[in-house]
Structure 1
Amino acid sequence: METNKPSCCSASRPASEQPAALSDVFISVEPRAKEGMVLIPGGKFLMGTDDREGFPADGEGPVREITLKPFYIDPCAVTNAEFKRFVDATKYKTEAEAFGWSFVFHLFVSEATAARVQNKVQQTPWWWVVEGADWLHPEGPDSHVEERWDHPVIHVSWTDAMAYCQWAGKRLPTEAEWEFAARGGLNQKRYPWGDELKPGGRHMCNIWQGKFPDKNNQSDGYAGTAPVTAFEPNAFGLYNVAGNVWEWCSDWFSPNYHVKGKKDNPIGPPAGDTRVLRGGSYLCHRSYCNRYRVAARSKNTPDSSTGNIGFRCAADVE
């Protein structure tokens, strides 16, 4: 398998661009922060993969034994409804709103909005720069999440996710915590449920079916995002850790830091240009980007937002 194909979520904001304004970071902690979270007991597990299906250039391998202390993690990605409660309480403006635009997948843009699109990503032309696209208007100003309150919030940057976590009294999971929780206790399996993508012909996650990037036959029931509790949870009770939306982790991204990095509660490199994304999305397809595997990794700049990036929260055990 080729190792240099970009991820389906590789659209990033230009480094020279700055947002018009961002809300101050605040501390307005939600009560009962850990209510409904899953307690992950911690312990040792084999992280990463040397699978031939993987992308070595992403730093998926080598397989290494990692030790983690117990932690909490949300069973689901943060929903539009939950993010709205945060925005209503704090008046927070996302980076997509501050910049005035975000990346939207081309098939979701209305004819009226498409007529105003002036920029597309050269390497990944299915990503269009859509003015007025944000978490509340995911396909542009003529769209709304009104029928998708139980879907994962999208068009949120790493910075936005961190602001939500601070308000909620939580944090983003480390990459190691995310993978440990996503594996659900299984050892070195390709997916959160085992090694077969569709056991018994049953769809287990929301990914692309058809010919990417122009034809999606939606045989799993969804073209874009699915509700956060769609499909079966893994053995730890976590939903949609494969497909649906990419999820931000706290770590800076590096393809090789982990080779010599610490193996006891690792937190990633001390600095970097991009943050880690895990889990794949509804755009992942075997022919192009099979990063819905549990060991797969991706990255993006902390200020970038797209129509297939969300997050879930973690918390310390006190």
Structure 2
Amino acid sequence: MTRVFIPGGTFRMGSNDHYPEERPVRSVSVEPFWLEQTPVTVGQFAEFVRATGWVTQAEQQGSSHVFVPTAGSVDLNNPALWWLPTAGACWHTPRGPAAGQTRLDPQTPVTHIALADAKAYAAWAGGRLPTEAEWERAARGGVDDQPYAWGHEFAPNGQRMAHVWRGSFPWYYAPGGTPGPCPVGQFAANGYGLLDMIGNVWEWTTSSYAQTDKPACCSCHPTQDAQQLWTLKGGSHLCAAEYCLRYRPAARIGVQGTAATSHIGFRVAYSNPEN
């Protein structure tokens, strides 16, 4: 595991140019901390499970939500059309055992992780989950007042900078195959040397998400009812420009702590590098 130092200081958090829950831009200060270079991978989580015997919430429940592309264009306000509860879906069988998937790449971000699962792993690793402000500070990589973690353009000089949806969501996936997370490290690091802060999988923070921030989370996630919500950051491989342009540092959605789906992961923060 590689820990990256994130300098403390004041930065401009949020965006006035995108979704209402990101407003207003404001000055926020954080203390220095360290953050894992990548999201926690399947291989790393497997080591944790072997050492502790941890059983994730999705495993206890016996099912979890899996993204399944629709047969054609559909109403983008109805996430139940592509988020399907799937028996046996969990961190080691992310599409469910009936999908007949091949062995998971151990370098792929772990998914189907609820907040309690992420906190347990972080404590085992000697760390913690980041706050939303810490996460956004890290994701910006020292670049403030830019929409993307790498600057003003989504694809500078035609180069894709993150693993996000390509095609027409939720039915046409241009690369072909089954949409899902990709192994970490396939895109350039940000200004602090962090990988996969944007796209690939949403990441947990320990910051609450007020119900007044917006009526519900975006439709790239199963509908939530009126309970305590927690903030996810970074977007995922399912974010698409036509309706969920959330592959930006300021972007955020709120989900219940019990949420565990095929596009939610996490990474570990440390207040002390000696941990």
Query: Structure 1 residue 190 and structure 2 residue 147: aligned?
Result: yes
Displacement of 1:222 in angstroms is 8.3
The answer on whether the counterparts of 2:6 and 2:34 sit within 8 Å (CA) in structure 1 is: yes
Instruction: Return 161-170 or 138-147, whichever deviates more.
Output: 138-147
CA 1:222–1:307 in 2, change beyond 3 Å: closer, same or farther?
Answer: same
Query: Structure 1 residue 287 and structure 2 residue 242: aligned?
Result: yes
Residue 37 of structure 1 is matched in structure 2 by 3
Q: Which amino acid aligns with 1:97?
A: E
Instruction: Name the CA distance, whole Å, in 1 between partners of 2:212 and 2:195.
Output: 29
The answer on whether the counterparts of 1:75 and 1:237 sit within 8 Å (CA) in structure 2 is: yes
CA 1:144–1:170 in 2, change beyond 3 Å: closer, same or farther?
Answer: farther
Secondary structure of 1:232's counterpart equals coil
Q: Which amino acid aligns with 1:146?
A: R
Query: Structure 1 residue 84 and structure 2 residue 41: aligned?
Result: no
Instruction: Name the CA distance, whole Å, in 1 between partners of 2:121 and 2:102.
Output: 18
Q: TM-score, normalised by structure 1?
A: 0.76
The answer on whether the counterparts of 1:228 and 1:240 sit within 8 Å (CA) in structure 2 is: yes
Who wins on radius of gyration, i.e. which is larger? 1
Q: Which amino acid aligns with 1:93?
A: V
Secondary structure of 1:186's counterpart equals coil
CA 1:225–1:67 in 2, change beyond 3 Å: closer, same or farther?
Answer: same
Instruction: Name the CA distance, whole Å, in 1 between partners of 2:139 and 2:253.
Output: 15
Residue 127 of structure 1 is matched in structure 2 by 83
Q: Deviations over 1:35-60 (max 9, x none)?
A: 62111111110000101xx110xx20
Residue 222 of structure 2 is matched in structure 1 by none
Taking only the aligned residue pairs, the percentage that are identical comes to 42
Residue 313 of structure 1 is matched in structure 2 by 268
The answer on whether the counterparts of 2:69 and 2:172 sit within 8 Å (CA) in structure 1 is: no
List alignment gaps of at least 5 residues for structure 2: 71-76, 214-226
Instruction: Name the CA distance, whole Å, in 1 between partners of 2:120 and 2:144.
Output: 34
Instruction: Name the CA distance, whole Å, in 2 between partners of 1:124 and 1:248.
Output: 22
Q: Deviations over 1:147-192 (max 9, x none)?
A: 4110000001111101101111110000000000000000111111
Q: What does 1:49-128 correspond to in 2, within 5 Å?
A: 49-51=15-17, 54-56=18-20, 59-107=21-69, 123-128=79-84
Query: Structure 1 residue 243 and structure 2 residue 209: aligned?
Result: no
Residue 210 of structure 2 is matched in structure 1 by 254
The answer on whether the counterparts of 1:205 and 1:243 sit within 8 Å (CA) in structure 2 is: yes
Displacement of 1:195 in angstroms is 1.1
Secondary structure of 2:239's counterpart equals coil
Q: What does 1:138-153 correspond to in 2, within 5 Å?
A: 138-142=94-98, 143=100, 146-153=103-110
Q: Deviations over 1:14-53 (max 9, x none)?
A: xxxxxxxxxxxxxxxxxxxxx62111111110000101xx
Instruction: Return 222-231 or 177-186, whichever deviates more.
Output: 222-231
Count of aligned pairs between the two proteins: 253
Instruction: Name the CA distance, whole Å, in 1 between partners of 2:121 and 2:39.
Output: 12
Q: What does 1:132-281 correspond to in 2, within 5 Å?
A: 132-142=88-98, 143=100, 146-218=103-175, 223-254=179-210, 273-281=228-236
Q: Which amino acid aligns with 2:107?
A: D
The answer on whether the counterparts of 2:92 and 2:104 sit within 8 Å (CA) in structure 1 is: no
RMSD: 2.0
Q: TM-score, normalised by structure 2?
A: 0.87
Q: Deviations over 1:268-307 (max 9, x none)?
A: xxxx701110000000001011111110001111111100
List alignment gaps of at least 5 residues for structure 1: 1-34, 109-120, 258-271
The answer on whether the counterparts of 1:37 and 1:73 sit within 8 Å (CA) in structure 2 is: yes
Q: Give the ranges of 4+ consecutive aligned residues of structure 1 lying more than 4 Å apart after TM superposition.
A: none
Instruction: Name the CA distance, whole Å, in 2 between partners of 1:156 and 1:306.
Output: 7
Residue 113 of structure 1 is matched in structure 2 by none
Query: Structure 1 residue 47 and structure 2 residue 23: aligned?
Result: no
Instruction: Name the CA distance, whole Å, in 1 between partners of 2:144 and 2:252.
Output: 18
CA 1:291–1:86 in 2, change beyond 3 Å: closer, same or farther?
Answer: same
Instruction: Name the CA distance, whole Å, in 2 between partners of 1:299 and 1:218.
Output: 29
